[in-house]
Amino acid sequence: MSNKFYITTAIAYVNAAPHIGFAMETLEADCLARYHRMIGDEVWFLTGTDEHGSKIRNTAKEQGMTAQELADQNAPWFENLGALLNLSNDDFIRTTEPRHKLGAQKLWRKLVAAGDIYKSKYEGHYCVGCEAFVTAKDLVDGKCPEHNKEPELITEENYFFRLSKYSDLISEKIRSDEVKVLPESRKNEILSLCDEGLTDVSFSRPKDSLSWGVPVPDDEDQVMYVWCDALSNYITALGYGSSDESKFDKFWPADVHVIGKGILRFHAGIWIGMLLAAEMELPRAIYVHGYITSEGQKMSKSLGNTIDPFASVEEKNCDPVRYYLLREIPTTTDGDFSQDRFKVVYESELADNFGNLFSRVLTLTERFLESKVPEVVGDSLLMKAVKDAWIKYDEHIANFDLKKACEEAVRLGEISNQYIDEKKPWELIKADPASLSQVMYNLLEILRHIACMLYPFIPSTADRMLEALGVPQVYNEGGYVEFREWGVLKSGIKVKKIGVLFPKEK
C-alpha cells in the first residue's frame, strides 16, 4: 500500500540570485522525495519563490523597476535551479500567482473568523532582511545578527495575529512530537521560545509604505505581512482556496517542511499557530538544516566569497556538487564548502571508491563471464553487511541525517573493494571457476544495492549504474520493488561496461 508524502522547501526571496544554501535545501528535499518514491510512496515535492515584502520592493526601487518586474526577471533563476540540480519537484509556486493570493486570503478569513486578527497601533524595529519586527533581545550591538544591519523604527496601524493565545498549545504539539522538529537542538530552541511565551505578530502593513503584498480581504488599505502570505504557500500550491481542493485534501498535511535554522520560529511558531487558529491539520515534521560557510568564512557579498550554484555545477558537474552538499556538509549543523575538501571527497569517494569499483566489477564480468550475471548466490557476511546497511540507512533518513545515510553506501563500497582484493577473481578464473562465478555474483548484487542507496543523492549516476547492471530503474511507478532484498539481480541478465563515472583531473 502506498503512502502519500508531501515535502516542501522554504520559498526563496527573489531579490537576489539563488544562494548555495538554498541549493542545498532543495537538494535535501529532493533526496528525501526521491527516497520516498523509491520506497513506493506517492510523493508531492514543492519548492518556489517568495515575491512579496519590503526586501523585494526596496531592491526593485534601487534597480528602477516595479516589484513585479523584478520578480518576473528573477523567478526563472530559481526555477532553473531545478534543471541545474536535477531536482524532482512536482510543482513550483510563485507567491505573485493568482492561485496563491486566493488561498492566502481564504486562510486570512479563517483567522478573522476565529477571532484571532485584531487591529492595533504599533511601534517597533523592523529588520527588512528578516522581514520581521525585532526586539532588543534579538539584536547584538543594536544590529540584527543575521543581517548585520540596524533595524528601522516603524510606527503603523496594523492587523495583528493573536499568536500568544497558541503559545502553550504549540509547545505541547512540538514537545509530544505531533509536530516533529529535527534535530533535537532545534526542537529545544523552539520549546524555550514557547516557554518565554510567543507574542502577537503584526500581520499586515499599510499599503502606502514600502509594502508589496497580497491585499488583506475587506480592507484595501492594508496588505498582508510577507510571512503570513509566504507560509500559506504550502497549502495554496495544493489548490487550497481554489475551486478544486482535491490535491489539498489528498496531500495535506505536509509530511516534512525542510527549512534553514534562521526561519525556525516562523515555521514552528507562527505557521503552527495559524493552522491551529484555522483548525487545520498540522505538518508532521519540520527538518532544520544549518548554514554553509565558504572556505571557513561566513559568505558575504562584501567578502566576495559567495558560492554561485550555477558556476559550481558548470565547473564540477551536477552529481559531484549534489554529493558534496548532501554527504560532506552535515545535514543539521553548519558545514563548509572548500575547494580542497571537494577535491578530496571527489577523488577518494566518487572516483576511487564508487567509480573504480563499478568499472572493475563490470570489466571482470565482461572478461570472465561474457557479461552475463552468474547464478544467484549469497555470501553470508556480505548479505549481513547489506542488510545492516539498509537498516541504518533507513534510520538515518528518518532522522534527517542524510550525510550518515550516504555513509552506508560508502561503507558498502569499501567492503566490496576489500572483497575483490581478497578474492582476486583474476586468479580464480584458472584455479577455481565455480567460485569465480560466486564471487562475481556477490559483487554485482552488492553494486546494485550501492546504486539504489546512491539514487536519492546522485540520481543520474545511479541510473547509469543500474542500467549497466541491466536493472532499468530503481523503482517502478506504482509498483513497489523489493530493492532492499538480496538476490534481485537475476542470472543470465547481460551487464554493460560502464564508462568512467567520475573522471579525475588530468
Where on the chain is the footprint of Zn ion (CB under 5 A)?
127, 129-130, 144, 146-147
Tell me phi and psi for residue 433, to 5 degrees. -60, -35
> Quick one: cell of 281?
491539520
Question: Please, what is the minimum distance in Å from the beta carbon of residue 128 to Zn ion?
Answer: 8
The alpha carbon of 158 is separated from its chain's Cα centroid by a whole number of angstroms, namely 34
CB nearer to Zn ion: pick between 7 and 134: 134
Question: Please, what is the minimum distance in Å from the beta carbon of residue 264 to Zn ion?
Answer: 14
Question: Please, what is the minimum distance in Å from the beta carbon of residue 143 to Zn ion?
Answer: 9
DSSP assignments along 402-456, one per residue: HHHHHHHHHHHHHHHHHHHHHH-HHHHHHH-HHHHHHHHHHHHHHHHHHHHHHTT
Nearest residue to 458 (alpha-carbon basis) of 339, 316, 259, 261? 316
Q: Work out the angle between the directed axes of helices 459-468 and 356-369 (0-180°, nearest 10).
A: 10
Question: Please, what is the minimum distance in Å from the beta carbon of residue 227 to Zn ion?
Answer: 13
Tell me phi and psi for residue 187, to 5 degrees. -60, -45
Question: Please, what is the minimum distance in Å from the beta carbon of residue 265 to Zn ion?
Answer: 12
- 375 Cβ contact partners less than 8 Å away, ≥ 6 residues apart: 437, 441, 491
Measured distance CA(345)–CA(351) in Å, rounded = 9
CB nearer to Zn ion: pick between 130 and 179: 130
> Quick one: cell of 70?
523584478
CB nearer to Zn ion: pick between 150 and 219: 150
Measured distance CA(238)–CA(404) in Å, rounded = 32
CB nearer to Zn ion: pick between 129 and 206: 129
Question: Please, what is the minimum distance in Å from the beta carbon of residue 313 to Zn ion?
Answer: 29
> In the chain, what is the greatest distance between 2 CA atoms, to the nearest angstrom?
89
Whether 371 contacts 430, CB under 8 Å: no
Measured distance CA(147)–CA(141) in Å, rounded = 12
CB nearer to Zn ion: pick between 128 and 402: 128
CB nearer to Zn ion: pick between 22 and 323: 22
CB nearer to Zn ion: pick between 144 and 462: 144
CB nearer to Zn ion: pick between 147 and 496: 147
**Dihedral sign, Cα of residue 49, residue 50, residue 55, residue 58:** positive
User: Cα dihedral angle (146, 149, 150, 154), rounded to 10 degrees?
Assistant: -80
Question: Please, what is the minimum distance in Å from the beta carbon of residue 300 to Zn ion?
Answer: 14
CB nearer to Zn ion: pick between 263 and 276: 263
> Quick one: cell of 142?
543594536
Question: Please, what is the minimum distance in Å from the beta carbon of residue 146 to Zn ion?
Answer: 4
Question: Please, what is the minimum distance in Å from the beta carbon of residue 345 to Zn ion?
Answer: 33
